[in-house]
C-alpha cells in the first residue's frame, strides 16, 4: 500500500483508536495531559542516544498501529537518535498529541526531527485563506516540540499534467517555504519516481530545484528512488549544493528492480558519506521500503549506517 492510500485509510483508524491509545499513554506516563508540569516516567534511555541516525516511522506503520510505545522503545534500543513522523490528523498522531509524543520520545533518548505533512491538494495563493490552516497547525505543533523540518511527503495535487502545472507547484513550494521560515521551521520536498518524468524536455524535479528559492525550499533526497529512475545521487548532490540537507537512506537494486536495505543496493553511500559535510547534510533518516514491521531490518540498516564518520557525534 502506498503512502497516500495508507494515510487516507488510517485517518479513521487513528481517530477510532484515540481513546484506547490515551489509556495506554496514561498507564505509561503518569497522565501527561492532566499534569503537564509532572515529567513522564522514563520509558527507556535515561540519556540521549549518541549518533545522528534518524528513522522515518512510516517504515514500521503496522507495528505503530499495534503498539506505539513498544515500537518506539525498540528503535531507541537499536540506537536511533531521532524519528520523523508522517501524517497528522485531528490533533493526534496514533492517538497522541505532539507534546505527549515528544515527551515519550525524549524519555527514550530520541527527538523528533520533523515530519512528513500529508496535504495533497494545491492551495490558494493567499496564505491567509482557510485552506492553509492545516499547514499552519502542523507548523505550530512541530515548532512547539523543537522539531526543525516540515516536509511535503509527495507532489501536491498529484503528478503535474502540464508545464504550467509544474510552475504552479514551484510557486506553491515557495509560499510554503516562506510560511515555514516565518515560523522558525525549514521546508523540504521528498522525491518519488514520478517526479523525474520529462515535461517539455525538462525533468520535473530539475525544474523545481532550479525554480524554487534556495533560501526557502530544500529537498529530502530519497536515495533509492533516485536509483529507481536511473539517476545519480552524487550528481544531484554536487549539482545543487546545499539544497539536499536531508537524506532518506533507502536503497535500490536496479538490475532486479527491487527496494533494498541501506547498503544492499546500488546507492553509493560510501562515496556520499565521504562528501556529506561538504554537501551540506544536516539530517540523516533511515526509511524502509521493504516492509512495515521488521525491526531486524531497522537494526541491519542502522548497523550499516553507523560505520560512517558523519553519523557519529
User: What is the overall mean pLDDT for the chain?
Assistant: 86
Q: Of all helices (H) and strands (E), which one includes residue 156?
A: none
pLDDT category, 46, cuts 50, 70, 90?
A: low
pLDDT digit string, tens, across residues 240-275? 999 999 999 999 999 999 999 999 999 999 999 999
Mean pLDDT, range 70-81, rounded to an integer:
97
Is 39 a residue whose pLDDT tops 90? no
The Cα–Cα gap between 299 and 313 comes to 19
More reliable by pLDDT, 289 or 301:
301
Least confident of 18-27, 60-69, 98-107, 248-257: 18-27
- In percent, the amount of the chain with pLDDT more than 70 equals 83
pLDDT category, 12, cuts 50, 70, 90?
A: very low
- In percent, the amount of the chain with pLDDT more than 90 equals 75
Least confident of 76-85, 122-131, 143-152, 171-180: 122-131
The reported pLDDT for the residue numbered 6 is 42
Per-position b or e across 286-309, b if 16+ CB within 10 A of its CB = bbbbbebbbeebbbbbbebbeebe
**Do you know the residue count of the chain?**
313
| Domain architecture of the chain: domains with CATH | 3-311 (3.20.20.150)
Nearest to 235 by CA among 267, 198, 259: 267
The Cα–Cα gap between 31 and 102 comes to 14
Mean pLDDT, range 169-177, rounded to an integer:
96
The Cα–Cα gap between 237 and 146 comes to 27
pTM of the predicted model, to two decimals? Answer: 0.85
The Cα–Cα gap between 259 and 250 comes to 8
6 Cα distance to chain centroid: 15
Strand partners, 149: 114, 186
**Which residues are CB-neighbours of 212 under 8 A, at least 6 positions away?**
170, 173, 174, 177
The reported pLDDT for the residue numbered 47 is 86
Per-position b or e across 46-65, b if 16+ CB within 10 A of its CB = eeebebbbbbbbbbbbebbb
Is 13 a residue whose pLDDT tops 50? no
pLDDT category, 119, cuts 50, 70, 90?
A: low
The reported pLDDT for the residue numbered 43 is 52
The Cα–Cα gap between 273 and 259 comes to 20
177 Cα distance to chain centroid: 16
The Cα–Cα gap between 173 and 152 comes to 9
Q: What is the dihedral of CA 178, 182, 183, 188, to 10 degrees?
A: 30
The Cα–Cα gap between 88 and 76 comes to 22
Amino acid at each position: 500500500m502506498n503512502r497516500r492510500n495508507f494515510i487516507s485509510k488510517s485517518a479513521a483508524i487513528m481517530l477510532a483508536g484515540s481513546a484506547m491509545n490515551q489509556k495506554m499513554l496514561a498507564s505509561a506516563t503518569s497522565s501527561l495531559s492532566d499534569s503537564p508540569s509532572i515529567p513522564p516516567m522514563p520509558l527507556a534511555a535515561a540519556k540521549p542516544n549518541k549518533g545522528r541516525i534518524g528513522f522515518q516511522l512510516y517504515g514500521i506503520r503496522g507495528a505503530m498501529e499495534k503498539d506505539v510505545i513498544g515500537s518506539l522503545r525498540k528503535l531507541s534500543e537499536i540506537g536511533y537518535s531521532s524519528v520523523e513522523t508522517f501524517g497528522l490528523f485531528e490533533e493526534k498522531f496514533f492517538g497522541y498529541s505532539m507534546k505527549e509524543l515528544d515527551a515519550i520520545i525524549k524519555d527514550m533518548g530520541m527527538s523528533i526531527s520533523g515530519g512528513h505533512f500529508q496535504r495533497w491538494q494545491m492551495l490558494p495563493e493567499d496564505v491567509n485563506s482557510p485552506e492553509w490552516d492545516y499547514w499552519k497547525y502542523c507548523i505550530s505543533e512541530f515548532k512547539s516540540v523543537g522539531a526543525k523540518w516540515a516536509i511535503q511527503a509527495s507532489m501536491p495535487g498529484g503528478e503535474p499534467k502540464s508545464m504550467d502545472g509544474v510552475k504552479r507547484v514551484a510557486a506553491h513550494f515557495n509560499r510554503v517555504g516562506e510560511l515555514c521560515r516565518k515560523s522558525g521551521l525549514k521546508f523540504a520536498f521528498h522525491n518519488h519516481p514520478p517526479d523525474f518524468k520529462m515535461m517539455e524536455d525538462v525533468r520535473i524535479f530539475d525544474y523545481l530545484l532550479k525554480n524554487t528559492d534556495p533560501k526557502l525550499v530544500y529537498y529530502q533526497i530519497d536515495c533509492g528512488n533516485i536509483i529507481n529512475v536511473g539517476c545519480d545521487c552524487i550528481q544531484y548532490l554536487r549539482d545543487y549544493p546545499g539544497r539536499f540537507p536531508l537524506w532518506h537512506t533507502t536503497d535500490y537494486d536496479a538490475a532486479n528492480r527491487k527496494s533494498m536495505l541501506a547498503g544492499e543496493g546500488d546507492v553509493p553511500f560510501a562515496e556520499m558519506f565521504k562528501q556529506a559535510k561538504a554537501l551540506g547534510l544536516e539530517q540523516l533518516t533511515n526509511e524502509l521500503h521493504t516492509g512495515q514491521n521488521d525491526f531486524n531490518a531497522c537494526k541491519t540498516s542502522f548497523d550499516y549506517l553507523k560505520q560512517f564518520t558523519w553519523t557519529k557525534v
